[in-house]
Structure 1
Amino acid sequence: MKRTMRTTALTVGALIAALGLPAGAAHADTAAPRVDLRTLVVSDGGPAVDAIAAELDTAGTPYTKIDLNQSGRPVIDAGFLADTVDGRPRAKYQAVVLPNDNPFPANSPEMAALADYERTYGVPQVDAYTYARPEAGLQYPVAGVGYSGSLDGVRAEVTAAGKSGPFGYLDGAVPFEDIDPAVSESYAYLSRPVAGADFTPYVEAPIPGQSARGSLVGEYRHDGRRELVVTFVYNRYQQQFRLLARGIVEWMTGGVHLGASRNYFAVHVDDVFAADDRWNTELNCTPGDVDCPGGGGTPDPIRMTAADVDHATAWQRDHGFTLDLVYNGAGSVDQRAEHNGADALADRLIAERGKFRWVNHTYTHAFLGCEQNVTVVPWRCATNADGSVKWVSRQAISNEIATNRVWGQSVGLPLQNDELVTGEHSGLKVLPQQPVDNPNLGPALADNGIAWLASDNSRDPVQRKVGPATTVSRYPMNIFYNAGRAAEQVDEYNWIYTSRAQGGSGICEDNPATTTCLPAPLDPATGYADHIVPLETRIALGHALAGDPKPHFIHQSNLAEDRLAYPVLDGVLDGYRALFANDAPLVNLRMKDIGVELQRRAAWQAALQGGGVTAYRVGGTVTVSAPAGVAVTATVPTGTTLAGRAFGSSYAGSLSGWTASAGQPLTFALPSSAAAPGTTAKAGKPDKPGPVTVPAPRTRIPVGVSEPPAPNAAG
């Protein structure tokens, strides 16, 4: 179909008449409207709209949410959508997200106002999950034409138009998850475009029983409007949505918006140079650790070898990925003392030190919170005669930090001296035994210039200050520190996550909210590869696809013996590269850089929520104002400049990044290739605007979407 670009032929006077604006708003016929960089999100409480809103939250992209189920909500009319500022017509929203193509009652004036607004300002609309029907540019999904039903396990594909358009960052495949065969986790309406409709499929899947493919995501141009028509349901955790989320936002914003989205992955390997005690399959505890009553059993340490170092360096080279080695110097000192000065592991690691990143993990891995009373299981904080808690002293904490730093420097480790991971994240609060931080921790961190302190995301997920330091939460991988062999991992996993009647700990009976409970014990021979690896891979990859920069952590024991970590890490890295194009790589940051990213995000979100940020576009210029000291984040097309200078860096075909605000407006100049609002609707002789009166039918939402399987959100 022949297409030409529709120019902003409507005069300002016509805009005013269409929107019912005051007559005094007339400016100049050639004046471009102001379009605020904010999205209108209209929700009916369904998971699809909430998923898009979650993506905007993560990226730091502002939006206004209207809940259709809330009494007393604002009415969506011409005045709600647009007004004038300094005599210039203003569109208050650059995009509209609706639950479906028309969520309002028949002949709704709100839907009519939205349609008029979108036509006038060239504002696109996302139909988050809608029925395939002619009103959305698609044929009804009836037998012989389309399909309605589950897509669990189906492989969808990005079309050529999708790759050259908003989904160009994907390699092509969009696999739909099938986590639990007993649970319906997806539902879709697959159909082909109506004959003669200006409809471009971006993502398609095979129609069952036919050779044809049906649209799952496509662009429908009609009546001077543009809609992104999505005909499958999803929640914020599902991989199929996570793959498409960036493209949905880029499509509806034209690639110009506040906020930025990148995918991250970092892995910390704790206890390097030290050894980790081994799980005892007979005692169901770890001799040498605090979980064996009365110190039972004989410790059986797991420690990497020089061959394990060679494997790690080769693996890094093959995957283009750098591990963060979190080290305890005393482990090597003790090894040399016990073996006449020999330590092949340390010799090899030190020789290869430049191939890894290194983080101080304290000298002996001592517990730095309260003094532990380990004569009981679980342990308790020791107390003074007056009942007060006995705390590890400031001097003892400082010695652990400083001694390990000096040891690392003496062997030439390339350190960042302001990073620290305490043993077991100790010193920080740990429930139920120690509900507050060790009061001596903050002063000891100050003594040693620590600015970034690791915390455990499972118990301390929110970034916070501890003395002079800011926490960086880390995701624990469920690959146990006390397992060097797959059979040990499975045995401990079965013990923890099965019922008492099945020989397990019963933790799931006591706490049904535990996300990794097992209906029956795993097979010792196959359970690791068949159950644990896929689950841990999915969880970690889910964090990466959600744009979460927090690092994951494992232990040196997981790189030794059976090298249990590698199948999971391979699953994440190889799985990601099979899904994404080369211009959207996983970003692999060290701990302090992750801390800075999280800190900037928190400050930016606070500024957005406090109303301190305004941003708008007039033609090819974007103006952003933010409080002084707050770093501004934005995504813009390649070729954009900020005050005449380059901005950000390239990722997924766009530029994105942070820039400091001094409290004065920031001005971005977009390239001429970036179409201005109002020029992207179908052009030539515009279709005669028609009334939008027919509400969309109710759509099916299976339980696996409304209530995502718990392991998706675990960690």
Structure 2
Amino acid sequence: MKRTIRTTVLTVGALIAALGLPAGAAHADDAPRIDLRVLLVSDGGPSTAAIAAELTDDGTPFTEIDLTQSGRQVIDAGFLADTVDGRARAKFQAVVLPNDNPFASGSSEMAALTAYEQVYQIPQVDAYTYARPEAGLQYPAGSAGYSGSIDGTQADVTAAGKAGPFGYLDGTVPFEDNDPSVGESYAYLAQPAAGADFTPYVEATIPGSSAKGSLVGEYRHDNRRELVVTFVYNQYQEQFRLLARGIVEWMTGGVHLGASRNYFAVHVDDVFAQDDRWNSELNCTPGDVDCTDSGATADPIRMTSVDVDYAVAWEQSRNFTFDLAFNGSGSVDQREDNNGVDQLADKLVADKNDFRWINHTYTHAFLGCVQNTTVVPWVCETNADGSTQWVSQNDISDEIANNRVWAETNGLPLENDELVTGEHSGMRILPQQPDDNPNLAPALAANGVDWLGSDNSRDPQQRQVGAAETVPRYPMNIFYNAGKASEEVDEYNWLYTSRAQGGSGICEDNPTTTTCLSAPLDTSTGYTGEIVPLETRIDLGHVLSNDPRPHYIHQSNLTEDRIAYPVLNGVLDGYQALFADNTPVVNLRLKDIGTELKRRADWQAALQAGQVTAYRIGDAVTVEAPAGLEVTATLPTGTTVGGAAFGSAYAGAVSGWTPSAGSPLSLTLPATTASPSVTASDDTAPATDPAPGTRVPAGVADPVTATVTN
């Protein structure tokens, strides 16, 4: 039985003409041009916002139409397709909708989208939809379905999911339950409708039943393909972060601009030096400029040679490399105080090739303004005319160069274009120093420094300091002044409890602080019971977010109780349990992270300026981009560019960067890659009624704070 679009009855010829297709039957030479751009139709909800964030982070171009905005673009045949140089062009390779039909009953826009998807074989993602027969599923009622919270549920990737778009996952998808008092995930669990061509990719057990209900699945009908998602999410939740890659790969057929990988790097600061220890009676750290009790002893913390053996063994067991940010004067001082002996330095130098090394300046001096530490908090010294006194360019250069000489003398394999200053000093720090030390940039240039570590908590965007580029680093909430778990908990309690409970009151003064405590933690159990799980979740969230920024701790955290390792193991164990072997953690050094961030920034600028065009015709992908711009893409294994293999393997595909020379860049897909073709069919489907309203719990509309980065 032939069907007609409910609102606009079109003959086949009129439909083809409206969508820009050439008359007559389609041949190989008539393969349409499919632009590598996604159409995202949003409703202001968290699910479409999450997909938009994923596409943005990946560097995948998309056009967004917000249904809540008046005067928005109307979706019609002319908006979706046209003809270029006599060839039919589909302007979008995929369509993302808030649900399976967000338009009013009888919508001509839904009719246009339906026809477009049929004719050009364009897939559609239903970002969060009610389970119903129109989406290929039974209603979520009775023993065959469920509607409600799935907080804490462990979903499973089906065999079809592993063989298809979610093959990079190891098999399970845990749903967060960070706060039992807040609903974080709402879902409709249902089985395929009778007679529906529906393949579940991710499913979970229906409560009260042994049957499984779909959470993500593919519905094929009326010459269309839909990815049906029946749970709500935001961009920060772990379950979305795990599935986001597969959603993008499904909608693009594994051929798209942009790329995503999972990164984790850990910098260990102050190596060879020693860190002052937290004093639980003073609630400060003797030796720090803000701890003024002159009678207090510092009792510093410093690694031992045994800790180096432990670190090397740990690296080998985890296939992971630490980046050691070192201060050479720490060893010089140790030898002066111990008759020329420094077992730690001897051991680290002997094992130097087991680590990567970063210049952290010779003495860890503060390289910003000249500090006046007679007041708390400290302030910048000023000249007679009121101007700021700055540490000189010569002094900054000495700190860089002297540490470099020490490294060369001891044979450390140093990259001279990398630098992390002590306390990230020299760069702006609020409120005392709102500007960079003007002497910093010329000192960096004079010493050939191209990549400068910065503190992500106060300077999160990569920026230039003279000719150098910053590399923002995430501070892990493992304190530099703690070698023992009890010290970490005591300081944590001080920072994050109220004044009435003996704390600093920072949470009362700044309610947006995300690590506040309702009561002090037990110093004997609080670290492993509370701090480690929270910090692990935060750091793993960074890893799953296609974010290459490194994390940093201090050498004090690798000695005594070695309090860094439980968190690092938590991140890597958690990751290993979630991902297949073809999707390893990417462990880059500082300069490579900086290069990745810089390429991304340049790519995003070019996208926003409309300087990049890409399309596919059959097995050929063409990218037009400005000369010198590095082009990023994710493509099937076996893709070539200029006769050479493109990219490197990751998550079952190849991805990477390739430079544009200004002329069209041609990539050839492997012959086995299915290519879109046009379909001149009159079996057009009716535009269905809009999906019933879907529920968004508070924990999704407003993300639970446990997942917010520190």
Using the size of structure 2 for normalisation, the TM-score is: 0.97
> Structure 2 CA distance, aligned partners of 1:194 and 1:324?
54
Query: What is the match of residue 209 of structure 2?
Result: 210
Find the residue that maps to 1:430 and give its secondary structure.
Answer: coil
Q: How many aligned positions are there?
A: 699
Q: How does 1:112-511 map to 2 (within 5 A)?
A: 112-293=111-292, 295=294, 297-511=296-510
Question: Deviation per CA, 1:157-176, whole angstroms, max 9, x where unpaired?
Answer: 00000000000000001000
Query: What is the match of residue 707 of structure 1?
Result: 702
Query: What is the match of residue 18 of structure 1?
Result: 16
Find the residue that maps to 2:357 and give its secondary structure.
Answer: strand
Return the letter of the residue paired with 1:533: V
1:19–1:117 contact (8 Å) kept in structure 2: no
Return the letter of the residue paired with 2:688: T
Query: What is the match of residue 571 of structure 1?
Result: 570
Question: Deviation per CA, 1:654-674, whole angstroms, max 9, x where unpaired?
Answer: 010000011110111111211
Please state how far the C-alpha of 1:296 moved relative to its aligned partner.
5.2
Return the letter of the residue paired with 2:694: T
1:16–1:22 contact (8 Å) kept in structure 2: no
Find the residue that maps to 2:63 and give its secondary structure.
Answer: strand
> Structure 1 CA distance, aligned partners of 2:25 and 2:33?
12
* 2:687 paired with 1:692: yes
Return the letter of the residue paired with 1:20: A
Query: What is the match of residue 38 of structure 1?
Result: 37
Structure 2 CA distance for partners of 1:619 and 1:296, relative to 1, 3 Å: farther
Please state how far the C-alpha of 1:678 moved relative to its aligned partner.
3.5
> Structure 2 CA distance, aligned partners of 1:172 and 1:438?
51
> Structure 1 CA distance, aligned partners of 2:329 and 2:107?
72
> Structure 2 CA distance, aligned partners of 1:446 and 1:414?
21
Structure 2 CA distance for partners of 1:298 and 1:23, relative to 1, 3 Å: closer
Return the letter of the residue paired with 1:148: S
Query: What is the match of residue 549 of structure 1?
Result: 548
Find the residue that maps to 1:119 and give its secondary structure.
Answer: helix
Find the residue that maps to 2:138 and give its secondary structure.
Answer: coil
Query: What is the match of residue 4 of structure 2?
Result: none
Q: CA RMSD in A?
A: 1.5
> Structure 2 CA distance, aligned partners of 1:21 and 1:653?
34
Query: What is the match of residue 587 of structure 1?
Result: 586
Please state how far the C-alpha of 1:291 moved relative to its aligned partner.
1.9
> Structure 2 CA distance, aligned partners of 1:439 and 1:686?
68
> Structure 1 CA distance, aligned partners of 2:406 and 2:643?
48
Structure 2 CA distance for partners of 1:106 and 1:415, relative to 1, 3 Å: same
Structure 2 CA distance for partners of 1:112 and 1:294, relative to 1, 3 Å: same
Larger mean Cα displacement after TM superposition, 17-26 or 206-215:
17-26
> Structure 2 CA distance, aligned partners of 1:263 and 1:441?
33
Please state how far the C-alpha of 1:644 moved relative to its aligned partner.
1.7
Larger mean Cα displacement after TM superposition, 523-532 or 32-41:
523-532
Return the letter of the residue paired with 2:687: V
Question: Deviation per CA, 1:216-260, whole angstroms, max 9, x where unpaired?
Answer: 000000000000000000000000000000000000000000001
Find the residue that maps to 1:325 and give its secondary structure.
Answer: strand
Q: How does 1:611-626 map to 2 (within 5 A)?
A: 611-626=610-625
Please state how far the C-alpha of 1:687 moved relative to its aligned partner.
9.4
1:628–1:661 contact (8 Å) kept in structure 2: yes
Please state how far the C-alpha of 1:689 moved relative to its aligned partner.
2.5
> Structure 2 CA distance, aligned partners of 1:677 and 1:605?
27
Return the letter of the residue paired with 2:537: R
Return the letter of the residue paired with 2:582: D
1:19–1:82 contact (8 Å) kept in structure 2: no
> Structure 2 CA distance, aligned partners of 1:536 and 1:382?
37
Return the letter of the residue paired with 1:234: Y
Return the letter of the residue paired with 2:370: E
> Structure 2 CA distance, aligned partners of 1:243 and 1:21?
36
2:16–2:22 contact (8 Å) kept in structure 1: no
Please state how far the C-alpha of 1:27 moved relative to its aligned partner.
10
Return the letter of the residue paired with 2:171: G
2:134–2:688 contact (8 Å) kept in structure 1: no
> Structure 1 CA distance, aligned partners of 2:83 and 2:153?
48
Please state how far the C-alpha of 1:686 moved relative to its aligned partner.
7.8
Return the letter of the residue paired with 1:701: V
> Structure 1 CA distance, aligned partners of 2:558 and 2:43?
48
Please state how far the C-alpha of 1:23 moved relative to its aligned partner.
8.7
> Structure 2 CA distance, aligned partners of 1:539 and 1:430?
24
> Structure 2 CA distance, aligned partners of 1:87 and 1:579?
48
Return the letter of the residue paired with 1:707: D
Return the letter of the residue paired with 2:704: P
Find the residue that maps to 1:148 and give its secondary structure.
Answer: strand
Structure 2 CA distance for partners of 1:677 and 1:654, relative to 1, 3 Å: same
> Structure 1 CA distance, aligned partners of 2:529 and 2:703?
21
* 2:631 paired with 1:632: yes
Please state how far the C-alpha of 1:21 moved relative to its aligned partner.
4.9
Return the letter of the residue paired with 1:689: T
> Structure 1 CA distance, aligned partners of 2:21 and 2:481?
75
> Structure 1 CA distance, aligned partners of 2:128 and 2:292?
55
* Unaligned segments of structure 2, at least 5 residues: 1-10
Larger mean Cα displacement after TM superposition, 515-524 or 336-345:
515-524
Find the residue that maps to 1:245 and give its secondary structure.
Answer: helix
Please state how far the C-alpha of 1:688 moved relative to its aligned partner.
3.4
Please state how far the C-alpha of 1:710 moved relative to its aligned partner.
2.0
Query: What is the match of residue 659 of structure 2?
Result: 660
* Unaligned segments of structure 1, at least 5 residues: 1-12
1:358–1:414 contact (8 Å) kept in structure 2: yes
Return the letter of the residue paired with 1:546: S
1:304–1:560 contact (8 Å) kept in structure 2: yes
> Structure 2 CA distance, aligned partners of 1:632 and 1:24?
32
Larger mean Cα displacement after TM superposition, 61-70 or 689-698:
689-698
Find the residue that maps to 2:83 and give its secondary structure.
Answer: strand
Find the residue that maps to 1:302 and give its secondary structure.
Answer: coil
Return the letter of the residue paired with 2:208: G
Question: Deviation per CA, 1:133-152, whole angstroms, max 9, x where unpaired?
Answer: 00000000002110011111
Structure 2 CA distance for partners of 1:15 and 1:217, relative to 1, 3 Å: farther
Find the residue that maps to 1:277 and give its secondary structure.
Answer: coil
2:15–2:115 contact (8 Å) kept in structure 1: no
> Structure 1 CA distance, aligned partners of 2:123 and 2:438?
54
Structure 2 CA distance for partners of 1:296 and 1:692, relative to 1, 3 Å: farther
Please state how far the C-alpha of 1:18 moved relative to its aligned partner.
3.1
Structure 2 CA distance for partners of 1:21 and 1:249, relative to 1, 3 Å: closer
> Structure 1 CA distance, aligned partners of 2:569 and 2:294?
37
Structure 2 CA distance for partners of 1:23 and 1:400, relative to 1, 3 Å: closer
Question: Deviation per CA, 1:616-638, whole angstroms, max 9, x where unpaired?
Answer: 01111110010111100001101
Please state how far the C-alpha of 1:294 moved relative to its aligned partner.
5.0
Find the residue that maps to 1:232 and give its secondary structure.
Answer: coil
> Structure 1 CA distance, aligned partners of 2:12 and 2:625?
33
> Structure 1 CA distance, aligned partners of 2:133 and 2:425?
61
Structure 2 CA distance for partners of 1:245 and 1:28, relative to 1, 3 Å: closer
Structure 2 CA distance for partners of 1:142 and 1:686, relative to 1, 3 Å: farther
